[in-house]
Chains A and B, each alone.
Chain A
Amino acid sequence: MPAAVSFQHVSRHFGQVKAVDDVSLDIAEGEFFAMLGPSGSGKTTCLRLIAGFEQPTSGHIEIFGETAEGLPPYKRNVNTVFQDYALFPHMTVGENVAYGLMIKGVARAEREAKALEALAMVKLKGFDQRRPSQLSGGQRQRVALARALVNQPKVLLLDEPLGALDLKLREQMQEELKALQKQLGITFVFVTHDQGEALSMANRVAIFNDGKIVQAGSPADVYERPCSRFVADFVGSSNVLPPDFAAAHGGTHAWTSLRPEKIRIAAAGETRGHGQFAASGRVTSVQYQGAITRVAIDVNGTRIAAALPAGVADIQEGQALSLAWAADSLVAMEPA
């Protein structure tokens, strides 16, 4: 069983710029795969390489076992939901959705029926006669989704699909996308710079930086065991402890990640024992955030931030505070 998408040492250079630099990766059939990274990290270029809008400078790409490099986008059974949706303004919503079928030569009656079906699937029944300009952002997003899905692609690519939507709508769409993917069983590959979105939707996440994949794995893997300071910083917020501090507080002599929510307030007089370690310092900031309160203390120049459940204690800036954590919460990372 070949992978849905397979990259083997793929690079894409634009002049001197290495947008994608020797990337190898396999996406299994039926996976909901996220490419996460800051802008300019190469994730979008990777997506465009799968779609066929870009061709690799070197390396080999396979889609379901067939060589993809050299094939134009219109010869790939892969469809894309664009960041700006790219709906055709001169066509109705129904014509937009039926476009791919029309190009394939599907008879009018059949493609219209299929378009209506696809629109119903994304909850836009009755919108087929409207123009894209008459729709809201969220509705356009759904049309773009229906337009891609109606072609029954083997792989659906989504480029920052929720970037233009407001928070409420975004959360709703996240759930719907997930449900759709489960229902259809199509491989979804989506690009995002929003770590929360990647963690909540994907089965597997690849984190990009400087044209390379720095870590790939399940959301829990990536979050719990960041392999580098970049990942620890980029995926959620994390305390990055210097080697000396880590070694003295339950870890090894390496740069070490400690998630704020793994930290609790130490019991009175607690120092260490039973795999627990504590450190004391002055409180430098307190941020009330509703469900949690973020507290940072300064331990001889090392800043440690904790996310404490609301109401555990009344903490003031400037007071002394001891924080504690379990040794197995410390994750040693590569120095980079």
Chain B
Amino acid sequence: MSAAVANSSRGGLSDFFYRNSGLLTLALLLPPLLWIGVVYLGSLFALLLQSFYSLDEFSGLVVHEFTLSTYEQLFTATNLTIILRTAVMAALVTVASAIVAFPIAYYAARYARGGWKALFYIAVMMPLWSSYLVKVYAWKLILAKEGIVTWVADKLHLGWLLDALLSVPVIGGASLSFSYIGTFIVFLYIWLPYMILPTQAALERVPKNFIEASADLGASPRQTFRTVILPLAMPGVIAGSIFTFSLTLGDYIIPQIVGNSRPFIGTTVYALQGTAGDIPLAAAFTVVPVVIMGIYLMIARRLGAFDAL
């Protein structure tokens, strides 16, 4: 019989994987899985382990014995204030970025066409991907006492307003770059694109005929917006909030550069593991945002936000 079934000595491995496609999936998946599993999850586990150790106050050395005393330390008044301060900031930043992001996302999704759409997209992607540090630095020079904000306020004869704002207790300060207001603005700025993109993605998935149907059924544009568009955009907003909330919770650079130097979770962790050398407490502190995010993700998942990621 001729070569009805072509013979080939090559591709023995290829044949094997053809017959065992499950093994092929496994073989493909193994390297990335090992990497994430060993490098990333392994490290997270090491971190968690550290939080159950404690620091010997006299020697300054880490005692490698299981204890919950580090977590007890976490619940002192000072530390709780830090956690609360960070959580409030993260919540405010999230709400504000949702408000600022929505019109941009809405406009880009519903009205921008062709070249404008591309421009909008790039205009959001650019700040998202450009250097974090450069962006923070930009605000340092904008908010400086001699910077552009003061200059504009003076030109508009609104210097008094700025001064009044800065003299408000708690949120005010010597200048914008040394106040909670400054920290808040920079956080908002840095994480805003993370809110715009998923919101826009969710809005683009609202079929046009939904809106037409709603109008057809006699809803005013305002009603259509409230009853059709907003609920359908929510998963996108929630997906965005995962990023804004989580990233604000853990950031340690922005409060160092712009702010009144009161500690946040991130700056505390940084200080603890660095100068203080108290790795166990630093580790316990990082568990806080993980737990908060875990709860947050569970709620978000229930609200269907993962489809919009």
Residues of A within 8 A of B (CB): 2, 55, 63-66, 68, 70-72, 74-77, 154
28 A-B contacts, Cβ less than 8 Å apart?
A2-B1, A55-B19, A63-B5, A64-B1, A64-B2, A64-B5, A65-B4, A66-B1, A66-B4, A66-B5, A68-B5, A70-B19, A71-B5, A72-B14, A72-B15, A74-B8, A74-B11, A75-B6, A75-B7, A75-B8, A75-B15, A76-B5, A76-B6, A77-B3, A77-B4, A77-B5, A77-B6, A154-B4
Q: How far is the CB of A49 from chain B (nearest CB, A)?
A: 14
The answer to whether the Cβ of B210 comes within 8 Å of any Cβ in the partner chain is no
The answer to whether the Cβ of B18 comes within 8 Å of any Cβ in the partner chain is yes
Q: How far is the CB of B60 from chain A (nearest CB, A)?
A: 61
Bound-state Cα–Cα, A251 to B155, Å: 106
User: Number of B interface residues, CB 8 Å?
Assistant: 13
Residues of B within 8 A of A (CB): 1-8, 11, 14-15, 18-19
Bound-state Cα–Cα, A71 to B11, Å: 12
Bound-state Cα–Cα, A71 to B3, Å: 13
Interfacial chain B residues near A2, Cβ < 8 Å: 1
Interfacial chain B residues near A72, Cβ < 8 Å: 14-15, 18-19
What is the chain B residue whose CB lies nearest that of A154? B4
Q: How far is the CB of A94 from chain B (nearest CB, A)?
A: 23
Q: How far is the CB of B199 from chain A (nearest CB, A)?
A: 33
Residue with the highest number of chain B CB atoms closer than 10 Å, among A64, A65, A68, A75: A75
What is the chain B residue whose CB lies nearest that of A65? B1
Interfacial chain B residues near A65, Cβ < 8 Å: 1, 4
Q: How far is the CB of B263 from chain A (nearest CB, A)?
A: 55
What is the chain B residue whose CB lies nearest that of A76? B5
What is the chain B residue whose CB lies nearest that of A66? B5
Bound-state Cα–Cα, A65 to B5, Å: 10
Please state if B19 and A64 are interface contacts (CB–CB under 8 Å). Answer: no
Q: How far is the CB of A100 from chain B (nearest CB, A)?
A: 11
Interfacial chain A residues near B15, Cβ < 8 Å: 72, 75
What is the chain B residue whose CB lies nearest that of A72? B18
Bound-state Cα–Cα, A65 to B3, Å: 11
